[in-house]
Structure 1
């Protein structure tokens, strides 16, 4: 199995950067917990990655079929479970008037193919080690 790695750099205050090849993903914590609020928190990025992934699959479905993406919008809601933790993530796809009826169900199915969602549904093993 090929290892895919990222480098984590601890910055000033509550900032942590993740270097993934040529990209640097910056994170910070909200002011309410001691950060500066200068970047999304890791948890915000986690939730945003799910929404962006679903959006990508909807976009790709439309693009590969020559369907206009104009007027398509997605929203994501996070609902707490009985224990107060994240219980349900609901992604709603709003399609514009005139969107081809024969493609509506398939657009929903396309969003289901999101790789982030699939990873959450079948979580990997975690191995945190000291070196």
Structure 2
């Protein structure tokens, strides 16, 4: 970790619920580390984009966040109903917009259920998984504040 406590952002917006904090720190070139609780992730850019390709891009982590959230909700559904989770996978692909602003378009996710999942459970699995927190956030986007600290 960084050894320092991240400063609280000076937003005037009223916060609802628990505030979660993380900190992104420049490493070198286009590489950054992300401290989240007691975990550290890394991001970089591919060689063709000027990076050193030492880690996924922020955009890839965005897609991974959506996919892992869907997988988590699907896994919890299976666990709650005493169904096996072994073999559960979520495949994801996305495209980038060809116009401005740069953004992800058309993320597609495919839940690959465990082979033993009864056919009558598949619709419920899809319904539960499609209500994950990241998916909900994309459907009801938050107000995002970006500021430069003094």
Match of 1:106 among 119, 124, 147: 124
Residue 26 to residue 114, structure 1, CA distance change in 2 (3 Å):
same
Whether the aligned pair in 1 keeps the contact of 2:46 and 2:57 (CA below 8 Å) is yes
RMSD: 2.1
Residue 80 to residue 43, structure 1, CA distance change in 2 (3 Å):
closer
What TM-score comes out, normalization by structure 2 length? 0.76
Residue in 2 aligned with 1:27? 43
**How many residue pairs are counted as aligned between the two chains?**
131
Measured after TM superposition, the shift of residue 81 of structure 1 is 6.0
Runs of 4 or more, structure 1, over 4 Å off, are: 79-85
Residue 62 to residue 30, structure 1, CA distance change in 2 (3 Å):
same
Identify unmatched segments of 5+ residues in structure 1.
none
**SS of the residue 1:11 aligns to:** strand
Residue in 2 aligned with 1:124? 142
Mapped pair 1:49 → 2:61: no
**SS of the residue 1:62 aligns to:** helix
Choose between structure 1 and 2: higher helix proportion: 1
Residue 98 to residue 128, structure 1, CA distance change in 2 (3 Å):
closer
Residue 82 to residue 70, structure 1, CA distance change in 2 (3 Å):
same
What TM-score comes out, normalization by structure 1 length? 0.86
